[in-house]
A and B are shown apart, each in its own frame.
Chain A
Amino acid sequence: MKLVLLVEDEANQRLLYQTELVDEGYEVELAADGREALEKLEARRPDIIILDISMPNMDGIETLGNVLSRDNSIPVILHTAYSSYKDNFMTWSADDYVVKSSDLTELKDRIRLALGEPKGE
């Protein structure tokens, strides 16, 4: 079972993605901000990281930099409400960029793609 590290500052969203990803058959580790995400990363290496950008304390982009400096082999998907971050070249180093939507199909597809899994459903 693949381990997904979900970094999201909003509790209800965290709950939503957790529920959906567990349904998809992933094991989900949660972090409320970048700092917590790095702690979790230290503790256990996930197979993929879903990273929100707009967060207090340490935002997604800063977190991305830290993640890559520790282990650049873990795929990272930036998951944000803002499409404008696409212009920030820091985001280019992420494996994928998904704009948040209530329809989680795209996110799930990108996770599978990043993990090299066949397209489902």
Chain B
Amino acid sequence: MNEGQPSSGTVLILDPDEGHREFLTHVLSDDGFDVCDVPDRGAALRVLREETPDLVVAVAESRGGGAVELLATLRSEPEIALIPVIVITDHLSHDLLDHFTNAPAADLFQKPVPAGDLTVRVRELLRSAGLSAPEGISLPHTEIEDLRAAGLSVLDAAPVWILIADEYLRMRFANRALLELWDIPLSRIAGRRLDRMLIADLDEGRHAIKATKEVLATGRPVKLTALRLRPRTGAERAADLTITPVTIGDRPHALLTLSDVSEHWFSGETIRQEKRKLEEIVNGMGAALGVLDKDLKVVWANKTFQDWFGEMWGQRFDFALRGLMLVGDTDPERIFTEREHTSREWAHYTASGDKRYYRNIILPTHDSFGRLKELVLVTQDLTEVTLRAEQHRLLRDLANLLQSTLDLDRLLYIILTCATAGHALGFNRAFVFLKDPETGVLRGEMGVGPGSQEEAFVIWAELAGAQRSLSDLTSDYQQAELLESQPLARMVRELSYPLGAEDARREVVARTALENRSQLIRDSDSDPRVTPEFRENFGCSEFVSVPLTTKGKVVGVLLADNVFSSRPISEEQVNILELFASPAGLAIDNALTYAELKDSLKRRREAEEALIQSERLATVGRLAAHVAHEIRNPLTTIGGFARSILKKPEDGERVQRAAGIIAEEVGRLEGILSGVMDFTRPARVQPAPVDANELVSKCLVMLEQDAAESGISLSFSAAENLPPCMLDEEQIHQVLLNLIRNAFEALREQEDREEPPRVEITTRAVEGAVELDIRDNGPGMAAELVDKVFEPFISCRVGGTGLGLAVGRKIMLDHGGDVSVTSEPGKGAVFTLTLPLAACGT
């Protein structure tokens, strides 16, 4: 150590080899450093902890022993962790270098150590650690010093990040730009291994180190693009890395030049990401997207487009899908002239009979001069949406239709049409079996569907052309009769299945009814629920059988298949069918109940008619008896007097008297006959608006004389503002006259009376009619007579035909009116006519 010179720093030398230790001590002491030397690690640590030297030069035992452990201990103690350590080994190898990765040495030297190199490095390290180099020491002119002197300022000023690594991948230099980027002093990296952690992406880091090794080994430059760097602060950067081999002091080195491409790269990355996103959207949007050129050729298409319409690049879109696309009915040229987009919906049946719905939207794109460039074709598949809407409409329509009829056959036709027609359920065929409540047998009732594959295609083609509603379809009910004659309908009508408990295993239809559960048969050939006979009858391998129920009671079974299209039956279709089976079952039950009711009603009506018939016969009998009686008396008289004349024809006076009586009796006979005829002749009512009060007045004029002669007081109290009645005036006039005359008769026959005889007539308006009372204070009638008074041939008068009141009542009923009577013996009688109003019609 040179006295009087300020210390350049304290260096601890750890070297187990005493001779070598002395050599090192000598070299460093000569160069003006305070040196302390120890032979082993324990002593070294003691010195380190007590004296804190500025630098350690540790000579590793073979394979790095001692020095590695020392470094590890050193770096783990914060007080001394930052002391730089130079390691000298017998042999430098990458293996050995890897030992120092976690606790890096400031530098590594291989024996024999060039004395100059060591002192330069020690001085460098101490200077970067803040200690000034010993004054007055002239720097040896090594190659590295030359490089530093010549290029340091240039490299620092360069607008690129520069790093130099030696053949052991130790970083020897980093320019200012790079140090700033990393925000780290050169001392922290000098001598450390080229650290992949400086590069953000692990794979990229490994890649860069590998490339550097390659450059060092081969001497050929390598370029890596778009590495992402991770600065201590600030955003991630991207850089292109050029690794160039350089020779510094006879040793191969690698010059790593990183040029900042962040701006370019990140904007490019953003575009790439956006593009990826867009592609995902375009492919995953669930719509077909195509670009057509002016000739309508497909110049681009997304995946969906190709999935739906096949590979069509370069083909004319409208030609390829003629008849399916809107361009079929839109002039392609017009699309090009129209600036607005067009939108059209269309549907087509696939070869398997599935109906698909699409919406096409065509957007013309224009160049900057406003000329049309291309057409963007967006095709959306509306099948699911349309299907849902149709299913809802179907169920709603069905509910309405089911309420529209109680006719069983029509109802079944509606149910089957609903299951087959249209798109919502769209089964190829459907059949109904109904349970006979009396025999408990499930019997085939009706089947709907095409008879053959050819027929099926014709029907589908028709359906594709015209959108018809369910009610349109079911209004073709006449077709139901045609159906009757079809083989399908005949076949199903011949089928019947008993519903005993043991029958559930036998046939799928019976099982459906007995278990009250839908049965979906995927493959009838292998399904034990299907018998060979059943397969033969229906010829379908997949079908569904759904119970028709109401209030938990099975009324029948609905069976449906896709025998022609072979389209698989979806769970959803089964669900809808089940949903639809419930109102259908209810409607069928109602129709059956109604038919039953109608039947019993018919039987009852027949019984009634028989009764009426016998009643009529009784009336005819009574009529005959009555006529016989009525005729017998006058006949007896006539015959008697005729004989009397024959006996004494010479007695002129006697003959005269007898002839007078005969004439009189004949007149009576005629009266009887006309009464009988009035009753039996159907009266034709010719109604016209009539004022009831006026009608009464006219009658009274005719009766005044008669009343006066008999001493009967006849009065009329007329209600004011009566509404006009609808009457055949002549007939009602007769009825009224008859009733009043009857009253007169009754009064005349009465022998002992307490008050003077009178007849009072009153009119009054009631709801929907005018009522007219004829009240007398005559002898009245017994209750049993009151009950029978309007029956024909009942008379309480001497010489009455017994028909007057019966005829009167018939007239009133023919008018839509009525006549009634209230009476008690000794209290007179009131006959009341009910006259219908003109407003109510006849």
6 residue pairs from A and B, CB less than 8 Å apart? A9-B798, A16-B637, A16-B644, A23-B647, A100-B633, A103-B639
State the CA gap A38–B560 with chains docked (Å). 94
A104 with B632: CB separation less than 8 A = no
State the CA gap A19–B797 with chains docked (Å). 27
Q: Which residues of B contact A20 (CB under 8 A)?
A: 640, 644
State the CA gap A104–B216 with chains docked (Å). 170
State the CA gap A23–B633 with chains docked (Å). 21
Q: Which residues of A, 67-121, contact B by the 8 Å Cβ criterion? A: 81-82, 100-104
Residue from A19, A23, A82, A103 within 8 A of B629 (CB atoms): A82
Asked, given contacts A102-B638, A102-B643, whether A15 binds B661 with beta carbons under 8 Å apart, the answer is yes
Asked, given contacts A81-B633, A100-B632, whether A12 binds B665 with beta carbons under 8 Å apart, the answer is yes
B636 with A81: CB separation less than 8 A = yes
Asked, given contacts A56-B798, A100-B636, A102-B636, whether A16 binds B629 with beta carbons under 8 Å apart, the answer is no
Q: Is A66 an interface residue (CB 8 A)?
A: no
Interface of B is mostly: helix
A10 with B642: CB separation less than 8 A = no
CB 8 Å contact bits of B647-661 with A (1 = contact, 0 = none): 100000010000001
CB closest chain-B residue, reference A99: B632
State the CA gap A104–B637 with chains docked (Å). 10
Q: Which residues of A contact B633 (CB under 8 A)?
A: 10, 13, 81, 100
Q: Which residues of A contact B797 (CB under 8 A)?
A: 56
Q: Is B641 an interface residue (CB 8 A)?
A: yes
Asked, given contacts A12-B637, A13-B636, A13-B637, whether A81 binds B644 with beta carbons under 8 Å apart, the answer is no
Q: Which residues of A contact B644 (CB under 8 A)?
A: 16, 19-20
State the CA gap A101–B632 with chains docked (Å). 8
Q: Which residues of B contact A13 (CB under 8 A)?
A: 633, 636-637, 640
What is B's interface to A at a CB cutoff of 8 Å? 629, 632-644, 647, 654, 661, 664-665, 797-798
What is A's interface to B at a CB cutoff of 8 Å? 9-10, 12-13, 15-17, 19-20, 23, 54, 56, 81-82, 100-104
B651 CB to closest chain A CB (Å) equals: 11
Given A9-B798, A12-B661, A16-B644; 16 other pairs, CB 8 A cutoff: A12-B641, A12-B665, A13-B640, A16-B636, A16-B637, A17-B640, A19-B644, A19-B654, A81-B629, A81-B632, A81-B633, A100-B632, A101-B636, A102-B636, A102-B638, A104-B640
A16 CB to closest chain B CB (Å) equals: 4
State the CA gap A15–B661 with chains docked (Å). 9
Q: Which residues of A contact B635 (CB under 8 A)?
A: 102
CB closest chain-A residue, reference B662: A12
State the CA gap A56–B647 with chains docked (Å). 33
Q: Which residues of B contact A12 (CB under 8 A)?
A: 634, 637, 641, 661, 664-665
Q: Quick one: which of B633, B634, B661, B664 has the most chain A CB within 10 A?
A: B633
The 5 closest A-B pairs by CB, nearest first: A102-B639, A81-B632, A16-B640, A12-B637, A100-B636
Q: Which residues of B contact A15 (CB under 8 A)?
A: 661
State the CA gap A13–B636 with chains docked (Å). 8
Q: Which residues of A contact B798 (CB under 8 A)?
A: 9, 56
State the CA gap A6–B664 with chains docked (Å). 22
CB closest chain-B residue, reference A10: B633
State the CA gap A15–B659 with chains docked (Å). 13
State the CA gap A56–B629 with chains docked (Å). 15
Q: Which residues of A contact B629 (CB under 8 A)?
A: 54, 81-82
CB closest chain-B residue, reference A15: B661
A101 with B639: CB separation less than 8 A = yes
State the CA gap A12–B642 with chains docked (Å). 13
CB closest chain-B residue, reference A81: B632
Q: Which residues of A contact B639 (CB under 8 A)?
A: 101-103
State the CA gap A98–B640 with chains docked (Å). 15
State the CA gap A63–B698 with chains docked (Å). 44
Q: Which residues of A contact B642 (CB under 8 A)?
A: 102
State the CA gap A44–B387 with chains docked (Å). 111
Q: Which residues of A contact B661 (CB under 8 A)?
A: 12, 15-16
Q: Which residues of B contact A56 (CB under 8 A)?
A: 797-798
State the CA gap A51–B641 with chains docked (Å). 20
Q: Quick one: which of B632, B639, B640, B665 has the most chain A CB within 10 A?
A: B640
State the CA gap A120–B593 with chains docked (Å). 80
Q: Which residues of B contact A9 (CB under 8 A)?
A: 798
State the CA gap A109–B797 with chains docked (Å). 33
State the CA gap A9–B640 with chains docked (Å). 16
CB closest chain-B residue, reference A84: B625
State the CA gap A12–B797 with chains docked (Å). 17
Q: Quick one: which of B632, B637, B654, B797 has the most chain A CB within 10 A?
A: B637
